[in-house]
Structure 1
Amino acid sequence: MTQIDRRSLLAAAGAALLAPAVPAFAQETGWTTRAAMPWPAQEIYCAVHDGKIVTAGGLVAHGRDPLHIEDRVARYDPWADRWDEGPKLPAPRHHPMLIAGDVDLYAVGGYARSEAGEWTNTTTAWVLSEGTHWAEVAPLPSPQAEAVGVGWGETLHLITGRTPGGEANGNWNDQVDTDRHLIYRIGDDRWEEGRPCPMARNSAAAAAMEGAIWVAGGRTVSGGGTGRLDRYTPSEDRWDTLAPIPLSEAAQNQVGGGLAMAALAGRLVAFGGEWFQRGGGGVFVETWIYDPMPDRWGRGPDMATPRHGLAAAAYGDAIYAIAGGSVVSGGNASTALEAFTL
């Protein structure tokens, strides 16, 4: 969202108190630079499909100019450390959710430009058909963006995010947080309601690990960032709430909105995001590693290029952090690609 739009929520996002010291993991870990994305973007998501990490859409802000909303699709080959361009989305989107199903790749929801504004929440859902073009599938029952999405067997899960709070749907301030959990039945081409997430929020991160879907961080419009960690077990249709991401000592604020996360070697790795205060804010530098056995987060090495609104995916023995904004709010979209090993 733009700097002007976001200031409406700054009053509720004051500095947080420092948490007790958090242990660091002893394993050798680190961030390394890889080939830069061909164009800058932020407010993106990605998924692994057909041997590549795929991201689509996003936005770039240029001062007071209208947002540039992207329709291009970028594909990264981790083995070759090389990018190429895939079939364009049928229409420009920022915050479109990329989800890999059991066979195909889907792009769900996100914001579009309309006569009402640059933050028109959408219901569109597309599948990458035969790897050559995007085709429509059943739309969402109502608009939902800034959500998290995970593929689970023959289903897709779309959880939390923002949806219009009334008739208006064009600006960021028209949207409200939701706890909605939608499940797409691929074989039936239909969406159904799942058990709601325990907390409504937007701009969280999610990953699949150990028979469950994990939803971490995020923020609320009225309350600012949350480090909350919720786990959904599909086989039991159950949510559990676990240890939250710790406070950031560097920012003296709660890690929350605009972060990214992926699962690697039986652990969750979360990083990035942004925080606000009157007159500004910043981007979190920390990398957090969660071990489910003791239900504990530990501090990993700081990001080489801190960002928010970035995409993340695990591939092989690394997690890849793609693009994002290197300053708080909508400015300075990045092309950075960095890999984290554990």
Structure 2
Amino acid sequence: MKKWTSLFLGAVLAAAPAVQAHAHPSHLTHPGVTPAVTDPFYGKGWQRLAPIAGGPRQEHSVAAVGDKVYVLGGVLADSSFTTTGKVEVYDTERDVWSGAAPMPVPMNHPNVAVVGGKVYVLGCLSGGASWQALRDSFVYDPNTNRWTTLPPIPAGIERGSAAVGVHGTKIYLAGGMRTLNPGPGGLQDTVATVTSYDAVTGRWETLPSLPQARDHVGGAVIGTKFYVLGGRDRGQVNVRDTVYAFDLRSRRWSERAAMPTARGGIATAVVGTKIYTFGGEGKQDGTNPNAVFNETEVYDALRDRWQRLAPMPVPRHGTAAVAVGGTIYIPGGGTAGGGSPADVNDAYRPTLW
């Protein structure tokens, strides 16, 4: 394992009806522009890692198998924010990147989970001027570096950007969105749909809907509870601080302690019985209503309490996080509101805080 140091760099998911979005006018309207990241402070558990070898990425997903972190799909920092099927692999022991077989279909906002050492992709968004939900599903075997096509998601429950959690052989999806028009005032169709997929039997099941629709939301399973944290509802400035817990045994939703900071487009990862949340989009401070958050906040599922931690050195949204051996890895994401993919790759180790 790499030696950790404190670095100081520089001076410092039932569907809701479609409605019109309240998107900020700048959403994805400055193609190919990635704001410079200057003077990040790495300390209090944060470490800078090798940047994504294939370049900037945003609206992707991540998965961990063994000591490898897989970055799947997303959009690239080109002139049209092209959706990609590219898969890149980060070796957490060697701090190096390599390539893997691309996904059969280019995807952004894919719903990704790991069961039995294999990576499952259950739906996504994709397309050009309008991103639409796809029913396409696949499973990737790291041992053979091959993708296998699964039966499509049942019609009517397809979506991307859902909260995802795993319990046993079942993958749970909550909320998400069916349509995202990445332009000024574009439609963002948020849903409250909740479903599960059994990776062994291939069976889908519809479960009680979320109390309120959510997309760009955090998800995690701890014990027999599926947590859905924060997110937004029909537009990136419509952020929420709510935390819902779904009891997998009673199949009932309850509301838990709210997040200290309402935000959507967050990344979440579990270490032990705590859920760590990072970044997000939709900050309304009176000057820039579409700013990016640097907040790091942790939810203690046993005590139903939140705590603020050291902020992200490089604030981001539209990213994803995953834990490997107690360290949380956060590759890519947007560094400004809307589309602003970055190749930043950071890690956070809670025990060093």
Letter in 2 for 1:281: N
**TM superposition shift of 1:262:** 0.9
Gaps of 5+ in 2: 1-19, 26-42
User: Which secondary structure does the structure 2 equivalent of 1:309 belong to?
Assistant: coil
* 1:241–1:321 CA distance, 2 compared to 1 (3 A): same
Percentage of pairs with the same residue:
27
**TM-score w.r.t. structure 1 length?**
0.82
1:153-209 per-residue CA deviation (whole Å, 9 max, x = no partner) reads: 111111101125xxxx87674442111111112222232212222221110011222
Corresponding residue of 2:173: 158
User: Which secondary structure does the structure 2 equivalent of 1:220 belong to?
Assistant: coil
1:13-56 per-residue CA deviation (whole Å, 9 max, x = no partner) reads: xxxxxxxxxxxxxxx94211112111210011112124321121
Corresponding residue of 1:79: 93
User: Which secondary structure does the structure 2 equivalent of 1:74 belong to?
Assistant: strand
Corresponding residue of 2:210: 197
1:176 aligns with 2:185: no
**CA distance in structure 2 between the partners assigned to 1:220 and 1:149 by the alignment:** 17
Letter in 1 for 2:295: E
Q: Residue 159 of structure 2 is aligned with which of 129, 144, 152?
A: 144
Corresponding residue of 1:109: 123
The 5 Å alignment of 1:79-98 reads 79-98=93-112
Q: Residue 140 of structure 2 is aligned with which of 128, 131, 145?
A: 128
**TM superposition shift of 1:324:** 0.2
Corresponding residue of 2:298: 289
**CA distance in structure 1 between the partners assigned to 2:223 and 2:89 by the alignment:** 27
1:224-257 per-residue CA deviation (whole Å, 9 max, x = no partner) reads: 000111112213322221011113xxxxxxx321
Letter in 2 for 1:37: I
**CA distance in structure 2 between the partners assigned to 1:211 and 1:120 by the alignment:** 32
Q: Residue 273 of structure 1 is aligned with which of 255, 280, 305?
A: 280
Count of aligned pairs between the two proteins: 305
* 1:118–1:274 CA distance, 2 compared to 1 (3 A): same
**CA distance in structure 2 between the partners assigned to 1:170 and 1:264 by the alignment:** 35
1:53-82 per-residue CA deviation (whole Å, 9 max, x = no partner) reads: 1121101244xx322111110112212222
**TM superposition shift of 1:137:** 0.7
**CA distance in structure 1 between the partners assigned to 2:228 and 2:295 by the alignment:** 18
Letter in 1 for 2:348: F
Letter in 1 for 2:62: C
Corresponding residue of 1:16: none
Kept after mapping to 2: 8 A contact 1:213/1:233: yes
Kept after mapping to 1: 8 A contact 2:283/2:293: no
**TM-score w.r.t. structure 2 length?**
0.80
The 5 Å alignment of 1:302-313 reads 302-313=311-322
Corresponding residue of 1:250: none
Q: Residue 344 of structure 2 is aligned with which of 314, 329, 336?
A: 336
Corresponding residue of 1:264: 271
Greater fraction of residues in strand:
1
* 1:192–1:210 CA distance, 2 compared to 1 (3 A): closer
Q: Residue 314 of structure 1 is aligned with which of 317, 323, 334?
A: 323
Letter in 2 for 1:72: K
Identify which range, 87-96 or 169-178, moves more after superposition: 169-178
**TM superposition shift of 1:279:** 6.2
**CA distance in structure 2 between the partners assigned to 1:339 and 1:105 by the alignment:** 21
User: Which secondary structure does the structure 1 equivalent of 2:23 belong to?
Assistant: helix
**CA distance in structure 2 between the partners assigned to 1:304 and 1:279 by the alignment:** 20
Aligned Cα RMSD in Å?
2.4
User: Which secondary structure does the structure 2 equivalent of 1:48 belong to?
Assistant: strand
**TM superposition shift of 1:135:** 1.6
* 1:210–1:151 CA distance, 2 compared to 1 (3 A): closer
Corresponding residue of 2:255: 241
**CA distance in structure 1 between the partners assigned to 2:277 and 2:288 by the alignment:** 27
Gaps of 5+ in 1: 1-5, 12-27, 248-254
1:70 aligns with 2:78: no
